[in-house]
Amino acid sequence: MSTNTTKIAIIGGGMGGLTAAIALTRIAGADVTVFEQARKLGDVGAGVTVAPNGQRVLDRLGVLEKIKRAGAIPDGHGVYQDALGNLVAEAAWEDSAKQYQNVGMYRPDLVNALAGELAPETIRLGHRLTALQHTDTGVRVEFEHGEHGEFDAVVGADGIHSVVRSSLMQLPTPVYSGFIAYRGVLDASLLPDDWPMISQVWMGEGKHFMCYPLKQRKLFNYVGFVPSDRPLKESWSAPGDVAELAAEFAGENWDPRLRHFIGLIEQTFWWGLHDHEPLTNWSEGRVTLLGDSAHTMLPHAGQGVNQAMEDSITLAFFLREASGPDGIAEAFKRYTAVRMQRTAILQNASRRSGSQFDAQNEFEDIAKRDADLRAGRDFRRSVVFDFDAVAAAEKALTRFRRISVA
């Protein structure tokens, strides 16, 4: 494949789409255009954790230090607590080699940092995809305002309600989990001077609350997870009711420190939690998916954006090996085969974590739940944080080369 002429359209200018654009440009040498439906980049102010496995990808792409400077590295491991604030278990926060630690990122800062690594003309705003189809020479994309174009390949990074996915693949749509999240940020200067600069989770019956520092410790991200029979379309911009959030965690059954934290919140947003069973295919011809488009997962393992980063660099390594139109389709198939098992494991782990935090389903025995949480720290460190997407891609490429020769 000629790296100078391969034109790739990435649909979606979020964290996954922008990471993919950087990886495909720098590793595969592709000519990339990112199409984003919003008229400006960014996100409603909230936080995301860039975990060690995601940082390993960003390090390989040469952007990690820039992102760490904008984020907040905790003072140490996070904690899982019961509703009254008693310690249940410590959480993993770094990889086994202690080379990478969790970084709390204000989402707009992360989006802007990634976008800053791309040439301005790479990103096309105000482009809402309406249709795409394979042609004899590539893939045609059409947008709401009538603009269209043809590319050698298309990558769908357009999230949980992916138009790319629904246009070409008869795949299951995400389903509502029965939970909503109240989410936002709090000015850290409002908190007591001794407030811990770590991730904290309070776990109660059927609901939980978490917070962690962002933006050079100037902000705290918070999320309150509660059951609801009012399913909301997945959104970062639906206004929520602060009084309703406070009522969910009111009373003497909840830690006074948590109630104080919530009492300082002035604005919150709703987020309906959706996911789906692991998909059996992400690619068709010269169209593929990554991130939430391919493997929507609940946020309880903190791996959504990190898995999109792993997807991005894996896709770039496979596309670098492609030769001609058939090579692109084959590269997408191989990328999908390599990534599907890992993301399926983490989709299921995210569901299980939510059940643990809310002390329900199979975790009605709280002592067992607490023991599982303590044991889960080693799983998180060895299976999740220590994973090297670059090494995994290179190993898979070697295996595929041997198969091709044989």
Catalytic site positions: 212
Helix or strand or coil: residue 173? coil
Question: Comparing C-alpha atoms, which of 31, 34, 26, 105 is closest to residue 61?
Answer: 26
User: What type of residue is 310?
Assistant: E
Extract the runs of DSSP E, i.e. beta strands, from 83-128: 87-90, 103-106, 123-124
Residue type, 186: L
Q: Among candidates 292, 301, 381, which has minimal Cα distance to 348?
A: 301
Count of H helices and E strands in the chain? 12, 18
Could you give the CA distance from residue 355 to residue 178 in angstroms, rounded to a whole number?
A: 12
Nearest to 17 by CA among 40, 39, 38, 34: 34
The answer to whether 61 and 24 have CB atoms below 8 angstroms apart is no
Residue 58 DSSP SS3: helix
Which stretches of 11-136 are DSSP H helices? 15-26, 52-61, 64-70, 107-115
**DSSP conformation class of 49:** E
Sheet holding 79-82, edge to edge: 87-90, 79-82, 200-204, 207-214, 219-227, 175-187, 269-275, 238-239
Q: How far does CA 349 lie from the centroid of its chain?
A: 14
Burial 214-233 (b: 16+ CB within 10 A, else e): bbebebbbbbbbbebeeebe
Spatial contact of 160 and 174, defined as CB atoms under 8 Å apart: yes
